Chain A
Amino acid sequence: MQNQAKNLINKLGLDPRLLGMIGALVAIWVVFGIFTDGRFLSPRNFFNLSVQTASVAVMATGMVFVIVTRHIDLSVGSMLGFIGMAVAALQVQVLPDLVGLGHWSVWIIAVIAAILMGAVLGAFQGWIIGYLAVPAFIVTLGGLLVYRGAMWWVTEGQTQAPLDTTFRLLGGGAEGTLGESLSWIFGIVAALAAVALMLLSRRNKANHGFAVKPAWAEGILLAIAAGGIMGFVWIMNSYPISKGAMKRMTKAQGIEYTDGMVWNHGVAIPVVILLGVAIVMTVIATRTRFGRYVYATGGNPEAAELSGINTRWLTVKIFALMGALTGIAAVIASARLNAVDVGLGTLDELRVIAAAVIGGTALAGGAGTIYGAVIGALIMQSLQSGMASVGVDAPLQNIVVGVVLVFAVWVDIVYRRRAGA
């Protein structure tokens, strides 16, 4: 029986570690589902979970590259706060005078500013690490303190609110979704794209005369991928918008609100952003020279250097990318709260690192996947939300998360040793 299962997994070409993570995630959901009489498994909770995961997951994809090359970035939480505060101040204090309050370009300028700011700050840290050879741990520990302090300085500690209305959509909420019909279209396009990619890769392999999976195995994988995407959209499309929000939205769109009218949320915009980031980062990791060099450098820095890879410049690029992703995460986090106070992003660096590590990124370098980090972030958030909804005290929540982190890494180490990888 066990052998049969192993055989099936082999034939399907699935990564056992991925299955393990999904198994753990489902187990967490089921347990909390039981303890909350199913509330945890409601569309409403899944919607909130997806929105709450987005910001940390976006950063976790970048942290994979950082950790794969044997570095660490402790500054992302503070950097998120600093960027969030700067961009909020830009919207609240600067742009209204320049282009006018509520101008259509405000959110675009804010997003570009956030990403640029992150990339520049990250590149500077990467330069110190790569060219001045100061360890990443120290450089980013310094960054943690510097950005948190700088954040306070931007506005003398004042909370910045409210943010631009269009900008706020990037954080989710009732308005910040694709809406029902667009969500379905999004799901269908994504499912078709997934199927097309898998078939294309199969054809390429066959053209070179390599062994391909049996057709039935490929069929099952296609069905799982397409089914998973459509199932997710279906759940998001089953969460009705509250009456208050409905009244607000119908008024804004000039539609008359009647009792019994039901709109559903659909896929939240931050989740769409996360999916986009995850896809782009996966392509970078597996399909570009840059990604190849990241993994080669992590596996054997000396060999990478001798192969002609400029590992110092690579370090600058990796940290610039991490910074840019932190900028995106800052947009999501500040937009979701519709305000930025000096606490924004506190301890996020640890959540991000934990997500990447739970997702199978090895601190010894050379190994880690983007999808793993995203699932890792989802596991962390599920634990945290689940315990909150069950009514576990905050201190105990931290204890559980801490224990789970250590346990997960231990399991991963045992697995690696057994697999001999």
Chain B
Amino acid sequence: MDKQTPLVDMRDIHISFGGIHAVDHVSVDLYPGEVVGLLGHNGAGKSTLIKILSGAYQADGGEIYINGEKAEIHNPRDARKYNIETIYQTLALADNLDAASNLFLGRELVTPIGTVDDDAMEAETRKIMAKLNPNFQKFAEPVSALSGGQRQSVAIARAVYFDAKILIMDEPTAALGPHETQMVSELIQQLKTQGIGIFLISHDIHDVMELCDRASVMKNGELVGTVDVNDVTDDDLLGMIILGKRPEGVTVQG
């Protein structure tokens, strides 16, 4: 990576819950068109770190810079202002609403008199779903009636539709079959070419080796290090995740 301005620069972030350092002075960064994998065991602090960026949690300390400027992110609305979109592991869908209502939740299209324009939203939803998942047909049903893959495409559509510059994907393929996983991989490649920066949280090393440019590994709330995936082997990454051991002979940031 040439040293341009990072899209996201999280510096010295820390947060604790009831005396436990969930994230302990961690710094990570992300450049345009780059995919950075966040690796670690359950409870390593990856999701917590990323929820600070998406506004769901507020850090006890540390700074976030977006495009080199200091950003104040206090809630999910603030994060959306910086074009940060998140696909949560839980998908964060309101099960009782249909796909269009979920896609536009919090950002509804309205008619000139200020009422929500369901027909227009459904039309837009049909357009984007035709690109993302052409088999998707259940526009009238609540999303509780959808399969895991279909729900995932709604969550992805929501993140992609609103011109995300920074995309956070928390275990995007955890609940998916092989075909849908392939779909997500292709989507990530496509978004990269558009200059979008992606944080990909995963505990699947193969995913990370295949999709990511760099990988930041966390253990017990601390950053073990950030490496270029082309410089390391699967075993190097495993060593970082399990033992917290930095690989030798490789440039490690952080």
Q: Which of B98-155 contact A (CB under 8 A)?
A: 101, 105-108, 110, 114-116, 119-120, 122-123, 142, 144-145
Mark the stretch among A4-12, A124-132, A251-259, A304-312 that contacts chain B. A304-312
Q: How far is the CB of A11 from chain B (nearest CB, A)?
A: 15
Q: A289-B110, A296-B97 are in contact. Are A308 and B56 (CB under 8 A)?
A: no
Q: Which of A292, A296, A300, A420 has the most CB of B within 10 A?
A: A300
- List the A residue with the shortest CB-CB distance to B115: A287
- Could you tell me the dominant secondary structure of chain B's interface residues? loop
Tell me if A208 and B95 are in contact (CB < 8 A).
Answer: no
Tell me if B76 and A305 are in contact (CB < 8 A).
Answer: yes
Tell me if A421 and B145 are in contact (CB < 8 A).
Answer: yes
Q: Please indicate the chain A residues that have their CB under 8 angstroms from the CB of B94 in the complex.
A: 295-297, 299-300, 303-304, 366
Tell me if B105 and A307 are in contact (CB < 8 A).
Answer: yes
Tell me if B119 and A303 are in contact (CB < 8 A).
Answer: no
Tell me if B105 and A292 are in contact (CB < 8 A).
Answer: yes
A359 contacts partner chain B, Cβ-Cβ < 8 Å: no
Count of chain A residues near B, Cβ 8 A: 31
Question: Contact flags (1/0) for B74-99 with A, using CB distance below 8 Å?
Answer: 01110010000010101111111100
Cβ-defined partner of A303 (8 Å) among B75, B80, B93, B145? B93
Tell me if B142 and A300 are in contact (CB < 8 A).
Answer: no
Q: How far is the CB of B244 from chain A (nearest CB, A)?
A: 31
Q: How far is the CB of A387 from chain B (nearest CB, A)?
A: 36
Q: Please indicate the chain B residues that have their CB under 8 angstroms from the CB of A420 in the complex.
A: 145
- List the A residue with the shortest CB-CB distance to B79: A308
Tell me if B105 and A309 are in contact (CB < 8 A).
Answer: yes
Report the tally of A-B residue pairs with Cβ distances under 8 A: 84
Q: Please indicate the chain B residues that have their CB under 8 angstroms from the CB of A209 in the complex.
A: 123
Cβ-defined partner of B142 (8 Å) among A283, A293, A298, A421? A421
Tell me if A204 and B119 are in contact (CB < 8 A).
Answer: yes
- List the A residue with the shortest CB-CB distance to B142: A421
Tell me if B77 and A308 are in contact (CB < 8 A).
Answer: yes
A165 contacts partner chain B, Cβ-Cβ < 8 Å: no
- List the B residue with the shortest CB-CB distance to A211: B140
Q: Please indicate the chain A residues that have their CB under 8 angstroms from the CB of B56 in the complex.
A: 305-306
Q: How far is the CB of A285 from chain B (nearest CB, A)?
A: 11
Tell me if A421 and B119 are in contact (CB < 8 A).
Answer: no
Tell me if A306 and B88 are in contact (CB < 8 A).
Answer: yes
Cα distance, A310 to B75, chains bound together (Å)? 9
- List the A residue with the shortest CB-CB distance to B120: A208
Q: Please indicate the chain B residues that have their CB under 8 angstroms from the CB of A367 in the complex.
A: 96
Tell me if A296 and B92 are in contact (CB < 8 A).
Answer: no
Cα distance, A283 to B142, chains bound together (Å)? 20
Tell me if B106 and A300 are in contact (CB < 8 A).
Answer: no
Q: Please indicate the chain B residues that have their CB under 8 angstroms from the CB of A300 in the complex.
A: 92-96
Q: A296-B97, A299-B97 are in contact. Are A288 and B92 (CB under 8 A)?
A: no
Cβ-defined partner of A299 (8 Å) among B88, B95, B107? B95
Q: Please indicate the chain B residues that have their CB under 8 angstroms from the CB of A299 in the complex.
A: 94-97
Tell me if A306 and B76 are in contact (CB < 8 A).
Answer: yes
Q: How far is the CB of B161 from chain A (nearest CB, A)?
A: 13
Tell me if A283 and B115 are in contact (CB < 8 A).
Answer: yes
Q: Please indicate the chain B residues that have their CB under 8 angstroms from the CB of A293 in the complex.
A: 106
Could you list some 25 contacts between A and B, CB below 8 A? A205-B119, A208-B120, A283-B115, A287-B115, A289-B110, A292-B101, A296-B97, A298-B96, A299-B94, A300-B92, A300-B93, A300-B95, A303-B91, A303-B94, A304-B106, A305-B76, A306-B54, A306-B86, A307-B92, A307-B105, A308-B75, A366-B94, A366-B95, A367-B96, A421-B144
Hey, which bits of chain A sit against chain B, CB under 8 A?
204-205, 207-210, 283, 287-289, 292-293, 295-300, 302-310, 366-367, 420-421
Hey, which bits of chain B sit against chain A, CB under 8 A?
54, 56, 75-77, 80, 86, 88, 90-97, 101, 105-108, 110, 114-116, 119-120, 122-123, 142, 144-145
